[in-house]
Amino acid sequence: MNNWKKKGIVYEVYPQSFKDTNNDGIGDINGVIEKLDYIKNLGVNIIWLTPIFKSPMVDNGYDIADYEAINPVYGTMEDFDKLLKLCHEKGLKLVMDLVVNHNSDQSKWFQESKKSRDNKYSNYYIWEDPKADGSAPTNLGSTFGGSAWEYVPERDQYYLHLFAKEQPDLNWRCEAMRQDIYKTMRFWLNKGVDGFRMDSISFISKPEKFEDAPLEDNKEYGSYYYGSSNGPKLHEYLHEMNREVMSKYDVITIGETPHTTAAQAEKYIAQERQELDMVFQFEHMHVDYGEYGRYSDVTFKLSDLRDSIIRWQKDLSWNSNYLGNHDQPRLVSRFGNDEKYRKESAKMLAMITVLQKGTPFVFQGDEIGMTNVDFKNIDEFKDLEAHNTYEFLKNKGLSDEKALEMIKRKSRDNSRTPMQWNDSKNGGFSEGNPWIKLNDNYDSINVRESLDDKDSIYHFYQKLLQLRTNSDVATDGDFKIVSLSDSDVFAYTRKLNNKTMLVVGSFSDKKVKFEVPESLVSMGSSKVLSNYRDSIRELSNILYLRPYEGIVFMN
Ligand code: ISL
Ligand code: CA
């Protein structure tokens, strides 16, 4: 991987919730343009923009109806071209979302495909005959609830959708379909786009033969990814895509790979295989899954989070490091403390994440410590997954209150509420009627307040990202865990030649004691960053860490 990629720090923009400039209640491309300096000043150098293509928005744009058209709610192609040009002028790269495991049932490809078994697009999707009794081919369920198969009378067949039924899965076995995807990729790359985040890419190769999956987590259907995650021809396709498209451009590729082990992940990114640059892993996002899968009332244990991170840092040559994004609850509410120690824990979590080996990802709003939202009833949620899961939990016999509580903990909408710019109406996001309710706390948690306060989470991120950018040890150093079994502390070193960086973070809301190995103390290190103003300056044998205290030392 070349240097600009290694030095890359990514800021994820979820445009519909970022900044609305025409007051229709939906964030837009001009809103991203308006805030480019804000993003740049944070210290990142790559923007990842989630889908802005033409879409009926069943899954907030992850259901694309036309890969080469901008969704009018976000603006025009001219607006996009302007955004790209301005990014480049400011030294920012722009990465787009490539959603090619599936697209929208409103796309021309699907509209044609469902008409008959023998037209140009017939084979662009995954069609299977019904069972003898007319029922679905297998018991596979969609990730958003219900069966993963949908019947279409015109063809007397079912099509597969691992996500919503409006998101039919594309058939990667079809050569013409693949070529059409490559064409679309070239369309954006020729405009000068700097790469792709590839949605659900671990699912593109489907099994030779679909089979029933075992039933887990109280579910009525088999897991959607059964047989489809890391399927038989996955690497063949990714290598072909690289050869035909990506290898011709100097661009970055980030695969989103749910249900992939570290050993499997290395196959995507090993340089000699010529596939992708890096992947998003999910194992550490599963540390608080429970008897109902994701939407359970389980709290993570530090030991599980740390074990998972260690495993990936050890087994994978390069990582994509994140604790939150548009599919996850807010990281400070999930892994930190969003009340008394919101600032301390948000900073510590950022520090622990950004300084690991790999590319750091910051999701909009995390840099000001935005929290989970306290919606009062299910109607306030917009995500179809929240609604489907709410019904599912109630069908399982849970009370309305309990079901709502579980949705509130984990809903993707927690991170999709509008960006809180200031304490004026709608947090300065829009003068209109926002597509999703704001988090009530925008009067105290907002960008204005963060910019004014020199001890804010935002300013801590600035220093942290500067440290990541300026020190080669943070980019290239080896990762080694220090606190292998401590109940409250996550500590690791990064080492490059004779430089050592020690990162220590407490996950406790009490004062705890941490003993530092003698070999580290004897190197004589001093503090380069901390989230308490008066943290200890020189590394010593015993650290007394205050609630969520985090300190970085260097020799
Ligand atoms: O978060 C999950 C389930 O609750 C994941 O398994 C998720 O489905 C997976 O990360 C895929 O996510 C991506 O593709 C989806 C889209 O809804 C997400 O927003 C996107 O990030 C379908 O396109
Ligand atoms: Ca708008």
What DSSP line would sit under 338-358, residue for residue?
SSTTHHHHHHHHHHHHHTSSS
Residues having CB within 6 Å of any atom of ligand 1:
59, 62, 99, 143, 163, 199-200, 256, 258, 294, 326-327, 385
* 62-77 residue pLDDT tens: 999 999 999 999 999 9
Ligand 1 pocket test, pick from 201, 327, 389 with the greatest ligand atom count within 8 Å of Cβ, gives: 327
Single-letter code of the amino acid located at 473: V
Atom 16 of ligand 1: nearest residue by CA position: 62
Burial 220-238 (b: 16+ CB within 10 A, else e): ebbbbbbbbbbbeebbebb
- Grade residue 496 by pLDDT with cuts at 50, 70 and 90: very high
- The CATH number, out of the four listed (3.40.50.2300, 3.20.20.80, 3.40.50.720, 2.60.40.1730), of the domain defined by the range 3-102+175-461: 3.20.20.80
Instruction: Decide: helix, strand or coil at residue 403.
Output: helix
Domain 477-554 indexed as CATH 2.40.30.10: no
What is the whole-number distance in angstroms between the Cα of residue 18 and the centre of ligand 2? Answer: 10
Ligand 1, atom nearest to 294 Cα: 4
Q: How far is the C-alpha of 156 from the C-alpha of 164, rounded, in Å?
A: 20
79, 256, 383, 385: the catalytic one is: 256
Ligand 1, atom nearest to 102 Cα: 23
Considering every ligand atom shown, identify the ligand nearest to the alpha carbon of residue 19 and give its number: 2
199, 283, 338, 486: the catalytic one is: 199
Ligand 1, atom nearest to 285 Cα: 1
pLDDT at residue 81 tops 80:
yes
What is the whole-number distance in angstroms between the Cα of residue 99 and the centre of ligand 1? Answer: 11
- C-alpha of 397 from chain center: 32
Ligand 1, atom nearest to 164 Cα: 22
Ligand 1 pocket test, pick from 96, 104, 200 with the greatest ligand atom count within 8 Å of Cβ, gives: 200
- Grade residue 297 by pLDDT with cuts at 50, 70 and 90: very high
Instruction: Decide: helix, strand or coil at residue 99.
Output: coil
Atom 3 of ligand 1: nearest residue by CA position: 143
What is the whole-number distance in angstroms between the Cα of residue 12 and the centre of ligand 2? Answer: 18
- Strand partners of residue 147: 141
Considering every ligand atom shown, identify the ligand nearest to the alpha carbon of residue 14 and give its number: 1
DSSP string, 275-333: S-SEEE--GGGGTT-BTTBTSS-PPP-HHHHHHHHHHHHHH-SS-EE-S--TTS--HHH
* 377-428 residue pLDDT tens: 999 999 999 999 999 999 999 999 999 999 999 999 999 999 999 999 999 9
Considering every ligand atom shown, identify the ligand nearest to the alpha carbon of residue 75 and give its number: 2
Ligand 1 pocket test, pick from 49, 105, 143, 361 with the greatest ligand atom count within 8 Å of Cβ, gives: 143
pTM score, whole prediction: 0.98
State what percent of residues in the chain have pLDDT above 90. Answer: 99
Q: How far is the C-alpha of 334 from the C-alpha of 349, rounded, in Å?
A: 11
Locate all alpha helices (DSSP H) within 11-99, ordered by sequence. Answer: 29-34, 36-42, 77-89
Per the prediction, the chain carries an average pLDDT of 97
Q: How far is the C-alpha of 299 from the C-alpha of 296, rounded, in Å?
A: 9
Ligand 1, atom nearest to 99 Cα: 23
Structure tokens of 147? 């069966």
What pLDDT, on a 0 to 100 scale, did the predictor assign at position 1? 87
Atom 1 of ligand 1: nearest residue by CA position: 327
What pLDDT, on a 0 to 100 scale, did the predictor assign at position 124? 98
Q: Which residues make Cβ contacts (< 8 Å) with residue 339, sequence separation at least 6?
A: none
Locate all alpha helices (DSSP H) within 288-383, ordered by sequence. Answer: 302-315, 331-335, 342-354
Residue 156: active-site member: no
What is the arithmetic mean of pLDDT over 283-309? 96
What is the whole-number distance in angstroms between the Cα of residue 54 and the centre of ligand 2? Answer: 15
* 333-351 residue pLDDT tens: 999 999 999 999 999 999 9
Q: How far is the C-alpha of 404 from the C-alpha of 394, rounded, in Å?
A: 9
What is the whole-number distance in angstroms between the Cα of residue 59 and the centre of ligand 1? Answer: 9
* 246-260 residue pLDDT tens: 999 999 999 999 999
Same fold, 108-160 and 477-554: no
State what percent of residues in the chain have pLDDT above 70. Answer: 100
What is the whole-number distance in angstroms between the Cα of residue 340 and the centre of ligand 1? Answer: 31
Q: Is 283 within 8 Å of 308 (Cβ atoms)?
A: yes
Ligand 1 pocket test, pick from 17, 53, 62, 413 with the greatest ligand atom count within 8 Å of Cβ, gives: 62
Q: How far is the C-alpha of 257 from the C-alpha of 110, rounded, in Å?
A: 25
Atom 23 of ligand 1: nearest residue by CA position: 62
What is the arithmetic mean of pLDDT over 228-246? 98
What is the whole-number distance in angstroms between the Cα of residue 335 and the centre of ligand 1? Answer: 20
Least confident of 219-228, 495-504, 524-533: 219-228
What is the arithmetic mean of pLDDT over 70-93? 98
Considering every ligand atom shown, identify the ligand nearest to the alpha carbon of residue 255 and give its number: 1
* 15-66 residue pLDDT tens: 999 999 999 999 999 999 999 999 999 999 999 999 999 999 999 999 999 9
Residue 256: active-site member: yes
Ligand 1, atom nearest to 280 Cα: 10
What is the arithmetic mean of pLDDT over 99-122? 98
212: left (phi over 0), alpha (psi -120 to 50) or beta: beta
The fold of 108-160 is: Oligo-1,6-glucosidase; domain 2 (3.90.400)
Structure tokens of 521? 């103390």
- Give the C-alpha distances (Å, rounded to integers) separating 162 from 126, 147, 223: 11, 9, 9
Atom 22 of ligand 1: nearest residue by CA position: 62
pLDDT at residue 264 tops 90:
yes
What pLDDT, on a 0 to 100 scale, did the predictor assign at position 219? 82
pLDDT at residue 125 tops 90:
yes
What is the whole-number distance in angstroms between the Cα of residue 98 and the centre of ligand 1? Answer: 13
Domain borders along the chain are: 3-102+175-461, 108-160, 477-554
What pLDDT, on a 0 to 100 scale, did the predictor assign at position 137? 98
What pLDDT, on a 0 to 100 scale, did the predictor assign at position 218? 78
Atom 6 of ligand 1: nearest residue by CA position: 258
Q: What is the DSSP letter of 91?
A: T
What pLDDT, on a 0 to 100 scale, did the predictor assign at position 473? 98
What pLDDT, on a 0 to 100 scale, did the predictor assign at position 216? 82
pLDDT at residue 186 tops 80:
yes
